[in-house]
A and B are shown apart, each in its own frame.
Chain A
Amino acid sequence: KLNVGVDTVQHGVEGLVYLLTESSKLMISEVDFQDSIHVLGFSDELNKSLLQLYLDNRKEIRSILGELAPRLPSYHSLEWRLDVQLASRSLRQQIKPAVTMKLHLCQNEDQTAQVLQTDPATLLHLIQQLEQALGEMKMNHCRRIVRNMK
């Protein structure tokens, strides 16, 4: 329908893809984008369409590129259950409280679930440590860095 060779179309598509992904990756401003494509010598109308294309798709392209980055398994959710062990093969008449948990993680679209257990003392320790971790983002040090790195 375009009346050009297959190769030309392919090069065209590849060029467009490269332009959009590089621009989105670097998150360049409108002005920089316009300056960059100006050297290609296209018509003003074409340049405007390209700019619009970039702005419209930038967010989606960035989120897709974000998926390609190296990743560790990420947290999905946690289920928990309170258990009390009353007896075992080696000891009768026990009262041993425990918290049994199922930790759901995602790694590259696979979901894994791991069963873990802990005792009440360790549970309180975990809560204390992780609350400290959460508090760190609110500290001045982190706030300053986030502010200055924009």
Chain B
Amino acid sequence: LLDDPDLKDIDPTILKHCHAAAATCILEAGKQKADISAISTCLEDCKLDKERIEQFCTEYQKNKDALEILLGSIGRSPLHITDVSWRLEYQIKNNQLHKTYQPSYLVTLNVENSDSGSHPDVSFSCTMEQLQDLVGKLKDAAKSLERATQM
């Protein structure tokens, strides 16, 4: 913003004030999910002329959805699962025990942290029965979600 040739004649301090004011206005409007009429009224009270108000509102409308998505993603939440990978293996022997002959699954849940964006994945092993238990519980959660959306 400070490098823009069109704005180089304006005092940089004033430019910063304007930028901050505009940003605050936009963020508040976004946070409150204000509609166009509310914004217009607010800007009228600030003694902006009609043309400027219209320009502002049009630009705001264009970017409203992106703004809401951005604001919605700010905030703390538990580790978020983004994907899962699995591996099926058949154990034959280990150094403590031979002829084990056991199938086992290795499941890795890829997780994301809302703050830093990376976190060691959660990995665990399980038997077929345990995996069935896990899938059963996840399906219960999904069914419950479906019922909730139909209410």
| A4-12, A44-52, A129-137 - interface stretch | A129-137
Residues on the B chain within 8 Å of A125, using CB: 83-84
**Cβ contacts A to B, 30 pairs, < 8 Å:** A25-B98, A27-B99, A62-B97, A66-B97, A66-B100, A68-B97, A69-B97, A72-B123, A80-B141, A89-B74, A90-B72, A92-B33, A99-B141, A99-B145, A103-B122, A103-B124, A115-B78, A116-B109, A117-B77, A117-B80, A120-B145, A123-B141, A123-B145, A129-B86, A130-B131, A133-B88, A133-B107, A133-B131, A142-B88, A142-B103
Selected contact of B71 from candidates A91, A136, A146, CB within 8 Å? A91
- Residues of A participating in the B interface, judged by any CB pair closer than 8 Å: 25-27, 62, 65-66, 68-75, 77-78, 80, 82, 88-94, 96-101, 103, 105, 114-120, 122-127, 129-131, 133-134, 136-137, 142, 145-146, 149-150
> Top 6 A-B pairs ranked by shortest CB distance?
A75-B126, A91-B71, A118-B81, A133-B86, A90-B74, A68-B96
| B14-22, B40-48, B50-58, B132-140 - interface stretch | B132-140
How many A-B pairs fall under 8 Å by CB?
159
Q: Is B150 part of the contact surface with A, judged by Cβ < 8 Å?
A: no
Residue contact A96 to B133, C-beta cutoff 8 Å: no
Residues on the A chain within 8 Å of B99, using CB: 26-27
Q: Number of B interface residues, CB 8 Å?
A: 57
B56 to chain A, nearest CB (A): 20
Residues on the A chain within 8 Å of B78, using CB: 100, 115-117
User: Given the complex of chains A and B, what is the CA–CA distance between A97 and B77 in angstroms?
Assistant: 13
B58 to chain A, nearest CB (A): 22
User: Given the complex of chains A and B, what is the CA–CA distance between A73 and B140 in angstroms?
Assistant: 24
User: Given the complex of chains A and B, what is the CA–CA distance between A150 and B134 in angstroms?
Assistant: 29
Residue contact B31 to A137, C-beta cutoff 8 Å: no
Residues of B109-151 contacting chain A, CB below 8 A: 109, 111, 122-126, 128, 130-135, 137-142, 144-145, 148
B145 to chain A, nearest CB (A): 6
Residue contact A25 to B125, C-beta cutoff 8 Å: no
A22 to chain B, nearest CB (A): 10
Proximity bits, B72-105, A CB within 8 Å = 1, else 0 = 1011011111111110101010111111110101
User: Given the complex of chains A and B, what is the CA–CA distance between A88 and B137 in angstroms?
Assistant: 29
User: Given the complex of chains A and B, what is the CA–CA distance between A96 and B71 in angstroms?
Assistant: 13
A41 to chain B, nearest CB (A): 27
